[in-house]
Amino acid sequence: MSNEIRTVAKHLVDQLIAWECKRIYGVIGDANLYLLDELAKQDQIQYMGCRHETTAGLMASAEAKLTGKLSVCTATSGPGIMLLLNGLADAASDHAPVLAITGQVERRKLGTGTKQEIDQQRLLDPLALYTSMVSDPEAFPIQLNQAMRIAKAQGGVTHLSVPKDLWEEKVESSLFPPPPVSPRLLPNEQEFTSILERINQAQRPILLLGRGSQQTKEDVLHLADKIKAPMIATMPAKSYLPHDHPLFVGGLGQAGSEVATELLQMSDLCMILGATWWPEDYVPAQIPTIQIDVTEINIGKSHPHVASLIGDLNDVVPKMVQRLQTKENHNWYHLIQQKKAAWDQRVQEEVKQTTTPLAPQRVMEALSQAIDSEAVICLDVGDHTVWFERIFQFKSQDVLISGRWRTLGFGLPAAMAAKCTATDRQVVAIVGDGGFATTMVDLITAVKYQIPITVFIMNNGSYSMEKNRMKVAGLHELGSDLLNPDWVALAHSFGADGFRVENEEQLVETIQKALRSPKVAIVDIICDDPIIPHTHI
């Protein structure tokens, strides 16, 4: 590919097009105006102008989580990059490949204390796998290529600061092609054989499955059947497994099922496949674990293990099914069935509540019945997330969450990005009244770009997770109560559809009506805030 003379701004746009970038999320500012002008001259990348930089960062993070591809966001200098940080922290914490391009003050003003100047590299250092300031146009193509490749290869945030006066400078360079597809990582045969021997010796094996097991879910079911191992799933992996399977026992942690924790306590070997979730309060202090993951850094991240294997689960799991001994283990299987039945009965009792205000369990049951089996569900942070995992019966939905960063306000931006990415799928956000208020200004962005998402607000008038923890600990509940606006009136003022649910009679019909709306739709559901089991500070 021959060199071409372009401006720095045009080189950036052309390079992103070469990597099949479809969208850039951002907020306009003095230091990125030349970039926006260049984006306006082409039609292959859509610029999505948000009202808040946090929204732009969270949208980029959510797109990367859903697709696994590099996503891009932009902001201006000073306050712009500062407000972008929360979204970038979410991407960094969940290893989502995101490239952030931020404007910077002119090169001659660096270090002078001029308005909106801050050392962006020091600012990004805790979050970014790579962050650099562009000081010369000839260096820009190489810096950009490094940033893109590192973000994609390592899964995380990379960042470039581009001084305002550099955008229009000329650079002579060719475009870098996308990286080749990584070859499958085959396991070490000696280590693999050793692991098979450990599994064959186990009397009460159990599986903990994470997002990394998605592509091999059918083989995972065969593995569980062959060795009679109950299956626990992290929230992102729950939709990969049929919930009526006799060996599926739910999630792990406060939001999971008690039966999962009980069986884990009784197990003599836990196999962790494509997962890093290991909540200390809900796992045995001592249990032999085998961890298998394609990414080396994920192994041994949270606790020691007796054996591990680096390999692609698409290759490893079928070979395990082929080579492992079949276990009958009637006593272990019978115990699993007994505990699973008792848990299912308990959940059924919870979802039948018809109180006013509505029980969150009842709301989640209604949503479980109404949401499309192929939908993308975006969760905000709060107690509704726990009720969701406890009650919702997954089919084939994808779930997007702020996994480790746990930031309020994730739900709405994630839903917008998901709908832009998966236009043919139903997309819903389930949010709390506290979390939704954090990014609700960008409801107008969803309306502006006509992104038909449905947002269900679990309105209990409080930061209920925190309030209930304070209540259990005997603390004053200062700061936990919320004064909310009229969410329906707010939706209408933004140009969205608005609905309210106050009782059982309105619940199912209103949910269905909102899901049929061709517009952005907000559903205000007045619900109770019961204390979640095992709540503590």
Query: If you average pLDDT over residues 157-186, what whole number do you get?
Result: 92
> What pLDDT band is residue 417 in, cutting at 50, 70 and 90?
very high
pLDDT in tens, 90-137: 999 999 999 999 999 999 999 999 999 999 999 999 999 999 999 999
CATH 3.40.50.1220 for domain 189-340: yes
User: And the tokens for 107?
Assistant: 């090169």
Task: Over range 55-74, report the average pLDDT.
Answer: 98
Interstrand relation of 521-526 and 497-501 (parallel, antiparallel or unpaired)? parallel
Question: Is residue 393's pLDDT more than 80?
Answer: yes
| Average per-residue pLDDT for the chain | 95
**Is pLDDT of 300 > 90?**
no
pLDDT value of residue 215 = 85
CB 409 within 8 A of CB 430: no
Question: What's the rounded mean pLDDT across residues 129-155?
Answer: 97
For the stretch 224-239, pLDDT in tens is 999 999 999 998 888 8
Instruction: Tell me the average pLDDT across 313-319.
Output: 94
Structure confidence at residue 214 as a pLDDT band (50, 70, 90):
confident
How would you classify the pairing of strands 46-49 and 23-26?
parallel
The one-letter amino acid at 138? E
- Give the C-alpha distances (Å, rounded to integers) separating 112 from 120, 211, 438: 14, 47, 34
**Quick check: 533 pLDDT over 90?**
no
Decide if pLDDT at 301 tops 90. Answer: no
pLDDT of residue 11: 98
State mean pLDDT over 416-425.
98
Do 189-340 and 353-526 show the same overall fold? yes
Q: Give residue 491's pLDDT band: very low, low, confident or very high (50, 70, 90).
A: very high
**Across 509-513, average pLDDT:** 98
Residue 185 confidence (pLDDT) above 80 = no
419 φ, ψ to 5°?
A: -70, -35
Strands 205-209 and 269-273: parallel
Q: What is the three-state SS of 239-255?
A: HHCCCCCCCECCCCCCC
Q: What is the model's pLDDT at position 337?
A: 96
Of 439, 444, 458, 462, residue with least CA distance to 500: 458
Checking if the pLDDT of 196 tops 80, the result is: yes
Whether the bond between 357 and the residue before it is cis, its omega within 30 degrees of 0, is yes
**pLDDT of res. 361:** 97
Q: What's residue 181's pLDDT?
A: 82
Taking the C-alpha atoms of residue 279 and residue 264, their distance in angstroms, rounded to an integer, is 12
Q: Domain map of the chain by residue range?
A: 4-173, 189-340, 353-526
pLDDT of residue 140: 98
How many CA atoms does the CB half-sphere of 412 hold within 13 Å? Answer: 29
The alpha-helical segments, DSSP class H, found in 157-288 are: 189-201, 217-227, 258-266
* Residue 305 pLDDT > 70: yes
Question: Residue 12 is encoded by which pair of tokens?
Answer: 């950036």
Residue 1 pLDDT grade (very low, low, confident, very high; cuts 50, 70, 90): low
Share of the chain above pLDDT 90, in %: 86
* pLDDT value at 292 more than 90: yes
**Domain covering 353-526 in this structure, CATH number:** 3.40.50.970
CATH code for the domain defined by 4-173: 3.40.50.970
